[in-house]
């Protein structure tokens, strides 16, 4: 028996990083997984790996930050598996690292649309299916940046804070339909993205990447970055019936960072 036996889970941003690891974990726990991202080849590979391991998965290439993309993703999910029980809004670009006076309007809209608008649109088109199916779990992958901020990343911080606020409102709105809405807020997470963030912070602040990395690590009591498995474990818990009475909550996965 798996924690997600019989459930259908849609995971955006599933072609790499946290989303790809999460897709495999969910499938291993019995979920039928819809792996989605903008790049068809990468997301098809993610789904193929699950199928090869004995799980059930399909790939849907879609841009979740557009109405057509989000709608087609949910329609494809219902066509493939008949229902939607879990939605994980993991898609999103980190955006540039720039002082606010240099942060262009196009930077702002790209980052906010990538992280926040995509979550709203996926929820908008998934909720009718969840209601007709008797309920569900929505998990927004936010960030510590949405709770305590990060310098020179105004678009990303705003989008991630927006996910938290949206979660609080939707938990109240959708609770009567037996739909739970929660946030996982990762801290600095091992992988290419955090290395890019470190490089950007070092450039803008005029210090070394080693200094930036050291400051990030020392911010948390566990003195380390988290990894994709850590984030996936929290999301798995929120997707499962183990968390049946948890909604409208932010679950930090940040190695103990007390400020987040």
* SS3 assignment, position 253: strand
From first to last of its 260 residues, the chain has per-residue pLDDT tens of 899 999 999 999 999 999 999 999 999 999 999 999 999 999 999 999 999 999 999 999 999 999 999 999 999 999 999 999 999 999 999 999 999 999 999 999 999 999 999 999 999 999 999 999 999 999 999 999 998 888 999 999 999 999 999 999 999 999 999 999 999 999 999 988 899 989 999 999 999 999 999 999 998 899 999 999 999 999 999 999 999 999 999 999 999 988 76
Q: How far apart are CA 155 and CA 182, in angstroms?
A: 22
Parse the chain into domains and list their residue ranges: 8-187+227-247, 189-225
Q: Does domain 8-187+227-247 have CATH number 3.40.50.720?
A: yes
Closest among 250, 163, 246, 231 to 24, alpha carbons compared: 231
User: Could you tell me if 74 and 122 are in contact, meaning their C-beta atoms sit under 8 angstroms apart?
Assistant: yes
SS (H, E, C) 160-212: HHHHHHHHHHHHHHHHHHCEEEEEEEECCECCHHHHHHHHHHHHHHCCCHHHH
Please indicate whether residue 110 is annotated as part of the active site: no
Which residues are 100's β-sheet partners? none
Using one digit for the tens of pLDDT, what is the confidence trace for 114-147? 999 999 999 999 999 999 999 999 999 999 999 8
Active-site residue (options: 103, 120, 152, 156) = 156
């Amino acid at each position: 028996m798996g924690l997600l036996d019989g459930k259908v889970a849609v995971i955006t941003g599933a072609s790499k990083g946290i989303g790809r690891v999460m897709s495999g974990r969910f499938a291993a726990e019995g979920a039928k997984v819809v792996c989605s991202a903008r790049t068809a080849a990468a997301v098809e590979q993610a789904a193929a790996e699950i199928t090869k391991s004995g799980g059930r998965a399909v790939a849907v290439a879609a841009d979740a930050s557009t109405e057509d993309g989000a709608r087609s993703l949910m329609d494809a999910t219902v066509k493939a598996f008949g229902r939607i029980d879990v939605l994980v809004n993991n898609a999103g670009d980190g955006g540039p690292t720039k002082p606010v006076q240099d942060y262009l309007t196009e930077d702002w809209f790209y980052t906010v649309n990538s992280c926040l608008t995509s979550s709203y649109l996926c929820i908008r088109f998934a909720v009718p299916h969840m209601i007709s199916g008797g309920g569900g779990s929505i998990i927004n992958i936010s960030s510590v940046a949405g709770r305590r901020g990060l310098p020179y990343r105004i678009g990303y911080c705003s989008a991630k804070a927006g996910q938290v606020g949206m979660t609080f409102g939707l938990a109240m709105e959708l609770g009567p339909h037996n739909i739970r809405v929660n946030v996982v807020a990762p801290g600095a997470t091992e992988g290419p993205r955090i290395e890019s963030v470190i490089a950007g912070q070092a450039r803008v602040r005029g210090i070394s990447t080693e200094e930036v990395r050291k400051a990030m690590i020392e911010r948390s009591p566990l003195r380390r970055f988290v990894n994709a498995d850590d984030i996936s474990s929290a999301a798995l818990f929120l997707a499962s019936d183990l968390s049946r009475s948890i909604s409208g909550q932010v679950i930090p996965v940040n190695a103990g960072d007390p400020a987040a």
